[in-house]
């Protein structure tokens, strides 16, 4: 029976957190949506990760969504909770932490360990650094929807909640779990409901987990995944699982137009003779409806599958096709979310139409971006993703659950994750599975 639940603000993040639990031998299910939690076979899993799709919502909506997800999970017997946050602290941090706390017993505290050492995310002096750079000076500070305004984590949390905060500095964290436990108790005695921890290594994460594991009051984990993983290991023994193997080609959808994604796909094309079909996203901006040209692009993609082992579609193949989401939304009198939704669902429809005729020997699917993954899954009637393992930090591997693509392997990756050869690594991983 599932005993631990993670509520994430997007699907890529949900997969990142879930696959870490899978690496620790917990059978883990990630949901595509936050609705109808009761339809999932919770007795068959050790942990469930809910995609609340709340990152782009306003603070009040994000609070309500996390609150309702947490309440429903409580009704299904879940006893341990994590609020998965973005590894670069984007999103509705304060609102979502408060939403989860309000849904749980009075006096529950939030332990915020916003670090992921394997991908260079650490907290020092309360500030998040990404490979040594303050997070607000990285691309996360220029996010078009939820930019990070400050690397000081307490300030980012305080934007959306007035709950009192505490802080455990690195000097204490590095002394080990007894010192951390004393510091936590001191913060609680002073009224803190949210406690932020400095940490720079997995050793620090483990020490914090050991300290909170011994707490006599209820608590939640707030982190990108590694802290939850360690806390779950301490709470429960894991169970191994096995999966079926399939065979075939690799289909990809690259919704991110970042320079890193462009570099990765160029490398894939050069080294693996991948067939990339470019899609001009400007064609999707004016309507949510299907358009005639989608079928033609889908047919081109299907044709490429007949001679290429790695094939798929890329958003905005040339730089002249890039758009300013804020400006395009203003011109149409709609929100930035509306523009982003039209693009992702347009790409997802093209992908669905390319796959509908059937791809001989389809071995797996590779997707970039959490919103793209949600749209793809909805278009293809996928209900959830059963996670298998982590290929690299923030790159998850699992199988699709439900719909015509049931049990097809899937790799999901964020648009700002990896090196030039990361997509090749993922494609080879699928082909060898």
Phi/psi at 116 (nearest 5 deg)? -150, 80
- pLDDT, tens digit (0-9, with 9 covering 90-100), for 125-158: 999 999 999 999 999 999 888 899 999 999 999 9
CB 4 within 8 A of CB 78: yes
What are the residue ranges of CATH 3.40.980.20 in the chain? 249-432
CB 401 within 8 A of CB 382: yes
Task: Pick the more confident residue, 39 or 22.
Answer: 22
Q: How far apart are the first and last CA of the chain?
A: 28
1-29 CB burial, b ≥16 within 10 A, e <16: ebbbbbbbbbbbbbbbbbbbbbebebbbb
What whole-number distance in Å separates Cα of residue 14 and Cα of residue 325?
Answer: 25
CB 1 within 8 A of CB 378: no
Give the rounded distance of the alpha carbon of 428 from its chain centre: 22
CB 7 within 8 A of CB 66: yes
∠ Cα 313 142 371 (to 5°): 40
CB 7 within 8 A of CB 47: no
Residue 317 reports pLDDT greater than 60: no
207: closest CA among 78, 101, 115?
115
CB 90 within 8 A of CB 140: yes
What whole-number distance in Å separates Cα of residue 145 and Cα of residue 384?
Answer: 26
Question: What integer is the mean pLDDT of 390-416?
Answer: 90
CB 423 within 8 A of CB 267: yes
245-259 CB burial, b ≥16 within 10 A, e <16: eeebbbbbbbbbbbe
DSSP-based three-state secondary structure for 87: coil
Task: Pick the more confident residue, 411 or 308.
Answer: 411
Q: How confident is the prediction for the chain on average, in pLDDT? A: 89
- List Cα–Cα distances, 392 to 100, 213, 395, 400, in angstroms: 29, 27, 5, 19
Structure tokens at 340: 């982003």
The CATH architecture of the domain made up of 4-235 is 3-Layer(aba) Sandwich (3.40)
Residue 191 reports pLDDT greater than 50: yes
Structure tokens at 96: 């979502």
249-432: which CATH topology?
Answer: Molybdenum Cofactor Biosythetic Enzyme; Chain A (3.40.980)
The answer to whether the pTM exceeds 0.85 is: no
Residue 244 reports pLDDT greater than 50: no
Would you state the pLDDT for residue 239?
A: 42
Residue 320 reports pLDDT greater than 70: no
Give the rounded distance of the alpha carbon of 178 from its chain centre: 32
Structure tokens at 423: 């997509």
Burial label for 333, CB within 10 Å (0-12, 13-18, 19+), is exposed
Phi/psi at 146 (nearest 5 deg)? -130, 70
Would you state the pLDDT for residue 266?
A: 84
DSSP-based three-state secondary structure for 425: helix
Structure tokens at 48: 């469930």
Q: Kindly give the residue spans of alpha helices, DSSP state H, lying in 284-409.
A: 292-304, 325-332, 336-355, 370-379
What are the residue ranges of CATH 3.40.50.10840 in the chain? 4-235
Would you state the pLDDT for residue 109?
A: 97
Would you state the pLDDT for residue 163?
A: 97
Q: How confident is the model at residue 1 (pLDDT cuts 50, 70, 90)?
A: low
Residues whose CB falls within 8 Å of the CB of residue 309, separated by 6 or more in sequence, listed in order: 249, 250, 272, 273, 431
CB 103 within 8 A of CB 165: no
Residue 247 reports pLDDT greater than 60: no
What whole-number distance in Å separates Cα of residue 420 and Cα of residue 401?
Answer: 30
- pLDDT, tens digit (0-9, with 9 covering 90-100), for 24-80: 778 888 988 888 777 776 777 888 999 999 999 999 999 999 999 999 999 888 889
Question: What integer is the mean pLDDT of 269-281?
Answer: 85
């Amino acid at each position: 029976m599932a005993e631990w639940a993670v509520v994430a603000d997007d699907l890529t993040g949900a997969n990142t957190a879930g696959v870490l639990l899978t690496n620790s031998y917990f059978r883990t299910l990630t949901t595509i949506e936050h609705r109808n939690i009761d339809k999932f076979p919770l007795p068959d899993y050790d942990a469930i990760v809910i995609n609340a799709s709340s990152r782009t919502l306003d603070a009040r909506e994000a609070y309500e969504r996390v609150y309702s997800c947490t309440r429903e999970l409580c009704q299904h017997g879940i006893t341990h909770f994590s609020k998965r946050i973005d590894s670069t602290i984007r999103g509705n941090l304060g609102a979502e932490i408060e939403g989860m706390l309000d849904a749980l017993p009075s006096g529950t505290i939030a332990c915020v360990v916003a670090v992921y050492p394997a991908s260079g995310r650490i907290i020092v002096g309360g500030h998040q650094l990404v490979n040594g750079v303050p997070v607000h000076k990285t691309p996360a500070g220029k996010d078009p929807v939820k930019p990070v305004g400050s690397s000081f984590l307490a300030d980012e949390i305080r934007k959306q909640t007035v709950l009192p905060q505490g802080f455990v500095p690195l000097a204490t964290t590095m002394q080990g779990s007894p010192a951390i436990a004393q510091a936590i108790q001191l913060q609680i005695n002073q009224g803190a409901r949210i406690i932020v921890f400095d940490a720079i290594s997995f050793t620090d994460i483990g020490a914090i987990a050991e300290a909170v594991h011994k707490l006599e009051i209820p608590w939640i984990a707030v982190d990108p995944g590694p802290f939850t993983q360690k806390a779950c290991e301490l709470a429960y023994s894991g169970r191994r699982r096995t999966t079926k193997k399939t065979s075939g080609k690799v289909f990809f959808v690259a919704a991110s137009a970042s320079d890193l994604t462009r570099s990765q796909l160029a490398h894939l094309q050069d080294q693996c003779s991948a067939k990339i079909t470019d899609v001009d996203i400007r064609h999707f901006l004016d309507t949510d409806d299907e358009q005639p040209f989608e079928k033609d692009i889908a047919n081109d993609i299907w044709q490429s599958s007949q001679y290429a082992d790695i094939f798929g579609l890329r958003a905005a193949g040339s730089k002249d096709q890039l758009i300013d989401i804020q400006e395009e939304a203003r011109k149409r009198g709609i929100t930035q979310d509306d523009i982003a939704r039209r693009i992702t669902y347009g790409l997802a429809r093209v992908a669905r139409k390319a796959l509908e005729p059937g791809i001989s020997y389809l071995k797996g699917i590779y997707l970039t971006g959490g919103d793209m993954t949600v749209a793809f899954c909805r278009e293809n009637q996928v209900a959830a993703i059963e996670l298998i393992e982590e290929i690299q930090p923030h790159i998850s591997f699992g199988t699709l659950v439900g719909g015509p693509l049931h049990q097809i392997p899937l790799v999901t990756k964020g648009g700002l994750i990896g090196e030039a050869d990361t997509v090749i690594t993922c494609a080879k991983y699928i082909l060898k599975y």
